[in-house]
Amino acid sequence: MNYTPERLNPLKACRLGLDTHQELTIYLRQDCPVCRSEGFSALSRVLVHTEQRHLIATLHMVTSDLLMPGEIGFSESTWKRMELRDNTSVWLSHPKPVQSLSYIRAKVYGNELSSDQLSEIIDDIVAGRFADVHLAAFITACGGDKLNIREITDLTQAMVNSGSQIEWGLPTVVDKHCVGGLPGNRTTPILVSILAAAGLTMPKTSSRAITSPAGTADTMETLTNVSLSLEQMRAVVEQEGGCLAWGGSVRLSPSDDLLIQVERALDIDSEGQLIASVLSKKIAAGATHVVIDIPVGPTAKVRSNEAAEVLANNFKAVAKTLGITISVLFTDGSQPVGRGIGPALEARDILEVLQNKPNMPLDLRQRSAEVAGSVLEMVNELPKGEGYKEALKILDSGAAWEKFQAICQAQGSLKAPPIAPYRYELIAQAGGIIHCIDNRKLAKVAKLAGAPADLAAGVDLHCKISDHVEPNQPLLTIHAESSGELSYAVEYLEEHLDIIELTTDRKAKT
Amino acid sequence: MNYTPERLNPLKACRLGLDTHQELTIYLRQDCPVCRSEGFSALSRVLVHTEQRHLIATLHMVTSDLLMPGEIGFSESTWKRMELRDNTSVWLSHPKPVQSLSYIRAKVYGNELSSDQLSEIIDDIVAGRFADVHLAAFITACGGDKLNIREITDLTQAMVNSGSQIEWGLPTVVDKHCVGGLPGNRTTPILVSILAAAGLTMPKTSSRAITSPAGTADTMETLTNVSLSLEQMRAVVEQEGGCLAWGGSVRLSPSDDLLIQVERALDIDSEGQLIASVLSKKIAAGATHVVIDIPVGPTAKVRSNEAAEVLANNFKAVAKTLGITISVLFTDGSQPVGRGIGPALEARDILEVLQNKPNMPLDLRQRSAEVAGSVLEMVNELPKGEGYKEALKILDSGAAWEKFQAICQAQGSLKAPPIAPYRYELIAQAGGIIHCIDNRKLAKVAKLAGAPADLAAGVDLHCKISDHVEPNQPLLTIHAESSGELSYAVEYLEEHLDIIELTTDRKAKT
């Protein structure tokens, strides 16, 4: 007879409606007998059982009457993962030590991690056996340049294996990734249209914004349906050669989503984990040829050409071993690309470029053609520069615009992006030359105005660095869906007028 | 005019009665306008203001009606730290980036941390500006041997500076620390009695149990009052030369308490942080001469004499720079010391040794005299072995027992430890020789029986390794304050009879 927790009195499950995100959390009354007998206290790791399922969770204590005696509370993610209903019987016990945590300790002492050890770590992360502090330790132990190429390769493979993988049964499936985003810079929908029009297969999945005013999935949502099942996605791609779907509904490289959340909190760069994160998503999505776009600039993620070269070489080495072809492109990372910042405003820019409108944002057209050209050169083995020309030709001919419409129709429909009812225009007080635009503060204005949750909200930028502006010329327009949000954004803007800095004519003359 | 959060509508404070321990946590409704306008989501770090105070907290979201619109929930530690009352007005905004986190990133890349950087990190930890994931990153980045002696020294000094410091105005103030505890091994109260009787000053503060069945403060609580203010502690020490107080009420090296909590979860050894942790507490308590007791054994924290030597040398190097004298003692870490495991049972052992009872646990007497002797040799510059003899003499004379009684009276009173009403005896099924005792499982039985919360609960061990036992001889007795807890402990014991392993007579003869 084993000492199983089933023999103790069970607790009754209670949904508290608390969202602790990925950290699986349970709540117990401080006077709960099991806390006393098992020695559980706040932040203990506890093995939680029902008759069907079990997992390891972090304990928070309740000192009030949120819970009745005999109840156990669950956070939303824990409730869903354990597939609970109210009053389900729950038993608690001490979890066995998680073996793979000892590999992290070994890494701290400078040991190389084997392929099997990396697989075990990733599997434990996906199974929820790591608390956030353990993820933080893993990220830190592997941070900087502490993973060699062999370890990065094995980590990437382990991340691919831990989730769904899509097989296309085609010799060439293309994809792209941009390392460290710029405001605007919404090239992806244009790229997919150009490349699918050129006969390539590009089953693109994108994320929603997490800290930025818009992600590609938010922007595309203003134009069509992006929540596709794997089957729907496959049907669209088989018909049109490309799709523009939200990646959230397909479980590709699930450990990556968990690691990214903690990486963001720590802001510790790990070149190894960056490469594994990007390539594991692409390999799991079935890509064979990938362009990596690295914007380089003084305030971009990658700040010098030397750093970009090192990163590019490591990307290539790992990709080669894993059997996918990549091409790395260095682009200008010094200012926003396009005019709109926010889902609908970025969608408008995209439509203007695809429709060859006379007033379209030329920088967005050029950047899109540049990245698309790089894919065409890689796949069709064209001389450098020829891909760019071909991409422009596809845009000019209207073929990209036709393909974009067809993809949107296949995903459901093509609709017009919404327009915000509330606006505020920032006017130049004096004439002069724009010499500086603060990307970070610009993104903050767009978020205060309601982006990305309010799809029509954001900022429309009317100038670029080096532009000459006249007195009273509009510099930017804030768009909002409510007057309250408009005033938050305006208030912030008025106190941060250095968002756009001019060398005034008077100053320029002196 | 600044963009201050005061100009937005405040939220009303609400105490939820949730204990998230050291992680400062706030709770907001998912539909709270400030989440939308500021872009806060689950686990965001948020700057929380009242008219008086502010701090950085981690956000958990509420998807149920735990909070009404316009309310903000607080965890217990956040509520207390902000000195809130119900409906206090609260404003939220984005915190400035915590500069010292960038030093941790630099450490990940192998940079040495300067004295100023270590101070800033420790100050930010004490101010609550590090979430647990940041503490985990700091511990991991400094883990293994990644801090050099200069860094360990500066870290120790920064930890001392971050809290209260006690000045005794005396040339010699002694203290001791044991690295990695053994079950039982409650030498401290005996040590303090011997050394104070010898005329030394030993203002001892001790911790309560966190994962073990008893801490020195729990044990002493069964005999006297241990919750002394700094003033009360000073009065006791001035009168008697020593005290036996709980360290929780004096704020010595407060960053250590925060780091230890996460270190335990990670189980990542950091020699640098171990040394800084121990020495910072001692220096802050005003010690000038400290004995470090390192139990060495196959299942102890330190497993070989070589590892113990390295640790001892680093301890000495750091102590020397910081101007305190230390002596390092290697002791036998292969089995429990004394018979009782649990607060009152350990108190009984202590009284037997101090009172020279014929049946006293000799190993506890010897270990106490050994450590006390080492202090006497260091302070009085005695030849090796002479301190041990003198310590035994003080025990034999009754002077230590008299001093112990005087200290307890000065702290309030000397009372008799409680006795548990429920007992269970484990009997040897066959005769034989004890060859193995599982310390970890023994501690678990004591905890299941109710220790340390139930002061009288625990395990009384009747045998030691190499003892010969007859059939039906009692091996141990479980003590409990309730029949329910007794049955938990007995149930576990019956299924883990390998806690005490015998080579039976029959086996021994073959």
Tokens of A163: 């989730």
- Are residue B376 and residue B500 in the same domain, yes or no? no
Using the 3D structure, point to which of B93, B115, B138 is the last residue of a domain: B93
Residue A454 is part of a domain; what is its CATH number? 3.90.1170.30
Min mean pLDDT across A87-101, A377-391, B144-158, B192-206 is at: A87-101
Distant-in-sequence, close-in-space partners of B25: CB < 8 Å, separation ≥ 6: B18, B57, B58, B59, B60, B74, B75, B77, B78
- Are residue A230 and residue A320 in the same domain, yes or no? yes
Rounded distance between C-alpha atoms, residue B246 and residue B231, angstroms: 14
Tokens of B172: 């010699």
- CA B137 from centre of chain: 22
Let me know if residue A456 belongs to a domain: yes
pLDDT digits (tens, 9 = 90+) for B457-504: 999 999 999 999 999 999 999 999 988 889 889 988 998 888 898 887
DSSP state of B67: S
- Are residue A350 and residue A461 in the same domain, yes or no? no
Rounded distance between C-alpha atoms, residue A193 and residue A354, angstroms: 9
**Banded pLDDT at A3 (limits 50, 70, 90):** very low
Let me know if residue B140 belongs to a domain: yes
Nearest to B347 by CA among B415, B280, B406, B412: B415
Q: How far is CA B371 from CA A412, B191, B215, B381, in A?
A: 79, 7, 18, 15
Angle B460-B461-B467 (CA atoms, 0-180°, nearest 5)?
160
Is B269 known to be catalytic? yes
The angle, 0 to 180 degrees and rounded to 10, between the axes of the packed helices A362-380 and A343-354 is: 70
- Are residue B206 and residue B233 in the same domain, yes or no? yes
- Are residue A352 and residue A481 in the same domain, yes or no? no
| Cβ–Cβ contact B307 with A under 8 A | no
User: Which residue does chain A place closest to B266, by CA atoms?
Assistant: A134
In the predicted structure, residue B509 carries a pLDDT above the cut 60: no
Rg (CA), chain A: 26
- Are residue B332 and residue B360 in the same domain, yes or no? yes
CB-based contact A460:A352 (threshold 8 Å): no
Strands (DSSP E) along A169-324, which ranges?
A: 174-178, 202-206, 242-246, 289-296
User: Which residue does chain A place closest to B4, by CA atoms?
Assistant: A492
Output the pLDDT for position A328.
Answer: 95
**Banded pLDDT at A338 (limits 50, 70, 90):** very high
Distant-in-sequence, close-in-space partners of A328: CB < 8 Å, separation ≥ 6: A291, A292, A294, A311, A312, A315, A316
Angle A248-A249-A254 (CA atoms, 0-180°, nearest 5)?
60
ipTM surpasses 0.90: no
Tell whether the torsion through CA atoms of B387, B393, B396 and B400 is positive or negative: negative
Let me know if residue B355 belongs to a domain: yes
Query: In terms of pLDDT, which residue wins out, A157 or A438?
Result: A157
Rounded distance between C-alpha atoms, residue B249 and residue B228, angstroms: 7
Using the 3D structure, point to which of B53, B74, B93 is the last residue of a domain: B93
Residue B73 is part of a domain; what is its CATH number? 2.40.40.20
Let me know if residue A416 belongs to a domain: no
- Are residue A330 and residue A223 in the same domain, yes or no? yes
- Catalytic residue, chosen from B123, B269, B438, B467, is B269
Total domains in chain A come to 4
CB count in 10 Å sphere of residue A287: 25
Let me know if residue A165 belongs to a domain: no
Output the pLDDT for position B503.
Answer: 86
Q: What DSSP string runs through B323-364?
A: T-EEEEEEEE-SS-BSSEESHHHHHHHHHHHHTT-TT--HHH
Q: How far is CA B247 from CA B13, B206, B209, in A?
A: 32, 5, 12
Rounded distance between C-alpha atoms, residue A450 and residue A444, angstroms: 10
- Are residue A385 and residue A345 in the same domain, yes or no? yes
Mean pLDDT of chain A: 90
- Are residue B217 and residue B346 in the same domain, yes or no? yes
Let me know if residue B461 belongs to a domain: yes
Which A-chain residues 114-153 have CB contacts (< 8 A) with chain B?
Answer: 131-137, 139-141, 143-146
**Banded pLDDT at A2 (limits 50, 70, 90):** very low
**Banded pLDDT at A443 (limits 50, 70, 90):** confident
Give the residue carrying structure tokens 């006249």: A470
- Are residue B241 and residue B183 in the same domain, yes or no? yes
Output the pLDDT for position B5.
Answer: 42
Min mean pLDDT across A133-137, A439-443, B307-311 is at: A439-443
Of B18, B61, B496, the CB nearest to A60: B18
pTM, two decimal places: 0.87
Using the 3D structure, point to which of B347, B377, B411 is the last residue of a domain: B411
Let me know if residue B279 belongs to a domain: no
Residues in chain A: 510
Instruction: Specify the pairing of strand A25-29 against strand A54-62.
Output: parallel
Q: How far is CA A383 from CA A198, A201, A375, A389, in A?
A: 17, 21, 12, 11
Min mean pLDDT across A194-203, B133-142, B241-250, B354-363 is at: B241-250
Output the pLDDT for position A355.
Answer: 98
pLDDT digits (tens, 9 = 90+) for A383-412: 999 999 999 999 999 999 999 999 999 999
Output the pLDDT for position B247.
Answer: 85
pLDDT digits (tens, 9 = 90+) for B215-261: 899 999 999 999 999 899 999 999 999 999 998 777 788 898 888 88
| Cβ–Cβ contact B110 with A under 8 A | yes
Closest Cα in chain A, distance from residue B257 (Å): 14
User: Which residue does chain B place closest to A212, by CA atoms?
Assistant: B39
Residue A234 is part of a domain; what is its CATH number? 3.40.1030.10
pLDDT digits (tens, 9 = 90+) for B97-107: 788 999 999 99
Tokens of A313: 């070489």
Q: Tell me the mean pLDDT in the region B11-27.
A: 92
Mean pLDDT of chain B: 90
Let me know if residue A169 belongs to a domain: no
pLDDT digits (tens, 9 = 90+) for B40-73: 877 888 999 999 999 999 999 999 999 999 999 9
Tokens of B440: 């970890």
Output the pLDDT for position A309.
Answer: 94
- Are residue A450 and residue A340 in the same domain, yes or no? no
Rounded distance between C-alpha atoms, residue B11 and residue B71, angstroms: 5
Domain that holds residue A151: 98-159+251-276
- Are residue B30 and residue B141 in the same domain, yes or no? no
Give the residue carrying structure tokens 């141990």: B476
